[in-house]
Amino acid sequence: MQFSDEQRAEFIEYLREGMNRQQAAETLAAKYEDPRITATKFRFLCRREPTFERQVREAEIEGKGTLVERLERCAVEMAMGGHWPALKFILTTYGEQFQWARSSKVEVGGTVEITAVAGILSRYLPPEMFDELMQVVEERMIEDTTTPALPPAVEPDIEAA
């Protein structure tokens, strides 16, 4: 199959707009109502014609920049609309003071009082779930013998034993 100059130019233009080769070929196939137009045939054309291959590569590079700009704009719009994952992305990408959040794993150190956790959970759980959860936590704390709750008041006298 031979591609017309117009089809070649349109393929390259679609790549400049941010489409990948598959999308560009599918768009052309739909436009010309010709299922023979495929990304594979454009790949073979690139192998046969180094000039066309160079034009395709340049268009793909330009298209990646266009795509990144569109994705950034989309992320900003989502963040401004209250989408929390998009907001985290924007902050961690552009806000140097938020670099600590770039890792998906955030470690929390120190101890948290059970009353603080209970206060947070009581705001978000229905009362029956909260009561059930607190009962389970209290039972597990009583059962947990790996760490003593308090150190002994007096050290045992090993020599007296």
pTM value is 0.52
One domain, residues 90 and 139: no
One domain, residues 51 and 74: yes
One domain, residues 96 and 21: yes
Confidence of residue 52 (pLDDT cuts 50, 70, 90): very high
Q: What is the pLDDT of residues 116-158, one digit of tens each?
A: 666 777 777 778 887 787 778 777 777 766 655 555 545 655 6
Report residue 84 as tokens.
């929390």
Domain count, the chain: 2
| Closest to 24 in 3D by CA, of 34, 35, 32, 13 | 13
Give me the domain span that covers residue 136.
Answer: 114-143
- 144: which residues sit within 8 A by CB, 6+ positions away? none
pLDDT value at residue 113: 63
Task: State the alpha helices, DSSP H only, in the chain.
Answer: 5-16, 21-32, 39-48, 50-80, 84-94, 114-124, 127-143
